[in-house]
Amino acid sequence: MFRKINATTISVTIALALCLSACKKDDNHNYNPSAPIVVNSFTPQQGVTGTEVLINGSNFTSDTSKIKVTINGVPLKIAGVNDHQIMAYFTQKTGTGPVVVTIGDQSGTSADKFTYLFSYVVTTLAGSGNAGFADGKGAAASFNFAGVRCQLSVDNNLNVYVPDGGNQRIRKITPDGTVTTIAGTGENGYAEGDASSAKFNNPCGTTVDANGNVYVTERNGRRIRKITPDGTVSTYAYSSGNGGNELTSVVVNKTTGAVYWSDFYGDGVYTLKNGTVTRVINYSLPCTITMDAAGNIYATHYDAQTVRKYSYNAGTDSFDSGVVLAGSGQSGWVDGVGQAAQFNNPWGIAMDSKNNLVVTGLGEGRNSNCVRLITAGNWNVSTIAGAGDAGYAEGTGSSARFNGPTGIAVDKNDNMYVLDMANNRIRKIIVQ
């Protein structure tokens, strides 16, 4: 069903429909290709997928096959037109932007922007909710995150890679929720080779490179492990002491192939340069990192209560000292712009296709069992799912509940996956 608008608009819509029903397709009917297309107004000015919008203007055509309406390049479905009105509706998310009417090679653009209202629907992709080990589909599968604050990842085929710390295994979830084990015997330890005989020491983070290799950080093993598509496990990097204290997340620069990881107690972000583990960012207690297409790194910082950006210089292969994008430095749960916002020990972080950041809280008794959105450019922080308190509930936006949502990943469709640590489930947030 489409989102209905007010009674006045409905009356106009009925009158318009009667007029449109009498109009025959005629690409010359009242349309002058030598005159501009004008978009004067539209109503309503905000809505979700399914919303009907009535567009008023001039020099339209009555032929629905000749006219196109878009917002941010995303087409709306045309319900009917005449020479000065168009009725269209949303079939998919468009984002906020002006309404553009196009006929042939001419376009007219509204002065005002339509505000698209995203909704965030939280479901459970996999996990029974009980700590244990079982492969299977959906609720038939079991995880044991055992208090290990983990970061998961997703590939271009929408497969999710989960570090299952309590089970000492790496798990894979297909889009239909089927969970399998891709590496690990279930024993804590260290062993290379075939995935079925490999051992891990509290796997904590995963990422996937352009060739399908999966990189895994170990919370206690001080290693970055690599799992090739044929199931061979090896050590990509190892460090004792600084640079190998609690490896919490890992990312890959898909342009250069460089692998970076956050070391919580190593106070920085590290990489492998010329065979040597090297600290490239020096800042206290980085929890989780993510990377944009330009190679810039974004990090949550536990004690600082902030989200920071570290800009990458490809010429010198180095990062700057970073700037605060969001967070006042004081513990709290406050939405707002940039440093007016507050976090309660932010943990997980990921980036969507529009360079917006999503951040999850640590939970563990803190009022941070929620997912926050940081809008690119203005760095406005808003809460999109959960309400801070711990629990378990499906639902939309603030009606959903999490318990320790420490890890988050975003797929190519901008849907999100959350490692709900204390609930031993993987949650999916569908963006509509």
- pLDDT tens string 95-124: 999 999 999 999 999 999 999 999 999 999
Contacts of 9 (CB under 8 A, 6+ apart): 43, 44, 54
Extract the residue ranges of the chain whose pLDDT is less than 50.
1-28
Q: Supply the pLDDT for residue 174.
A: 98
Tokens 């905000």 correspond to: 46
Contact 228, 241 (CB under 8 A): no
Contact 136, 172 (CB under 8 A): no
d(CA 218, CA 241): 14
Contacts of 241 (CB under 8 A, 6+ apart): none
User: How big is the CA angle at 390 (ends 249 and 304), to the nearest 5 degrees?
Assistant: 45
d(CA 2, CA 90): 8
Q: Supply the pLDDT for residue 191.
A: 97
Q: Supply the pLDDT for residue 364.
A: 82
Tokens 């297309």 correspond to: 37
Q: Supply the pLDDT for residue 245.
A: 78
d(CA 137, CA 132): 15
Alpha carbon separation from 298 to 154, 255, 261, 312, 368 (Å, rounded): 18, 17, 12, 11, 19
Q: Supply the pLDDT for residue 24.
A: 42
Q: Supply the pLDDT for residue 29.
A: 61
pLDDT in tens, 340-374: 999 999 999 999 999 999 999 988 888 899 999 99
Contacts of 263 (CB under 8 A, 6+ apart): 242, 243, 244, 245, 246, 247, 248, 269, 270, 286
Q: Supply the pLDDT for residue 148.
A: 87
Q: What are 263's strand-pairing partners?
A: 247, 268
pLDDT in tens, 193-250: 999 999 999 999 999 999 999 999 998 889 999 999 999 999 999 976 666 778 999 9
Q: Supply the pLDDT for residue 400.
A: 98
Spacing of C-alpha 109 from chain mean position: 30
Alpha carbon separation from 408 to 207, 333, 385, 391, 426 (Å, rounded): 12, 19, 12, 18, 10
